[in-house]
Structure 1
């Protein structure tokens, strides 16, 4: 591709013409269950595309605290398998703590699935301002350790290396 990048990160923001994080009005009059299903289908597609080294905030659709009426665990399991099979890293995005959902992406209840599947992880602050660079990293590392992770991925010129926490 001619670009001297350390990594390529892919994130789903759009469902149709609008972004899932633009505001709660995006969800008005829509079935959240269907949106959740479509969103995870898009994330699975991105993870299997071969275009990305990392999939970022893969459950951003949680941003305003909406939840599907069903147990979403199978969606996380399927995505973990897709990421593992396509050698893609998932991101723990700490900036969710600064959003209405007030928690990291992905949903911490499902981190164990990614640990069990041995999907590599990285931690990212997704900082949109300098003061947030590295914000909540210590908490993220602790959470990952509690869920069975012992190392995380770092990249240099698209070469991945795993380092111990």
Structure 2
């Protein structure tokens, strides 16, 4: 089973489970490697209520060590963080990268700027801000942010590339007009994308990203990982067999293994 590199810990305040439970689930699923990549702090101050604080980094490292101790020689454990792309975050991301010997950093867009930082994938906005927004405009701003993130060169993996569709909001027409510039930027960056299975359990009822995006990424020579985005042990490697079929249909024959920024490949 492919490695699962995008999983969380209770430090993000919206996940639950002990490290031993996550490791047992990963071993039972038969994943090649298990990666821990919780929501990174965005600075020294409180930013929102769904990520760890900077002061909790020692707790994160302790959680990782418990996971490694429980895994022993049964399963390789990789360590990363999921970092939010926000205006002016570059210096902070560089500081985070230097704080630990990460195997990878995941870059994700959970916020877009509409005069203020809007966490568009937060369910609290479904009946309010989303209902008042022009979907075309929101998508334009989301993909502009995603391209800027790719252009930064700061990340090893790009998370859930079309998260903007989470609640089922899509503009009219051929959406490849959004995908193609993003794929070009990602290909230029040399980073990896993830096929994130969590989307099958959200209102959009579809993996992130759409199969059209995956096909463009494959044609662009972009490497792939498959991720569960697990927030509970029961979600580790969830739907990976289905994801493998989607990846193969898009033309992928292998996924990537990451260790200290170096890549190896395993067949799907």
Per the normalisation by structure 1, the TM-score is 0.95
Consecutive aligned runs of 4 or more in structure 1 exceeding 6 Å deviation: none
Pick one of 94, 97, 108 that aligns with 1:11: 108
CA contact (8 A) 1:18 1:26 kept: no
- Which piece of structure 1 moves more, 70-79 or 133-142? 70-79
Aligned twin of 1:22:
122
Question: After the TM superposition, which residues 85-164 of structure 1 pair with which residues of structure 2 at under 5 Å, given as runs?
Answer: 85-164=188-267
Aligned twin of 2:171:
68
Larger radius of gyration: 2
Task: Return the offset for 1:74.
Answer: 2.1
Task: Return the offset for 1:111.
Answer: 1.7
Per the normalisation by structure 2, the TM-score is 0.59
Aligned twin of 1:82:
185
Pick one of 38, 41, 47 that aligns with 2:141: 38
Structure 2 gaps of 5+ residues are 1-97
Matched residue count? 165
Task: Return the offset for 1:162.
Answer: 2.2
Counterparts of 1:49 and 1:162, CA distance in 2: 25
Counterparts of 2:201 and 2:232, CA distance in 1: 12
Counterparts of 1:110 and 1:123, CA distance in 2: 15
Query: Match of 2:266, SS?
Result: strand
Task: Return the offset for 1:2.
Answer: 4.0
Task: Kindly provide the CA deviation profile for residues 98-127 of structure 1, in whole angstroms up to 9, marking residues without a partner as x.
Answer: 111111100123321111111111100000
Aligned twin of 2:34:
none
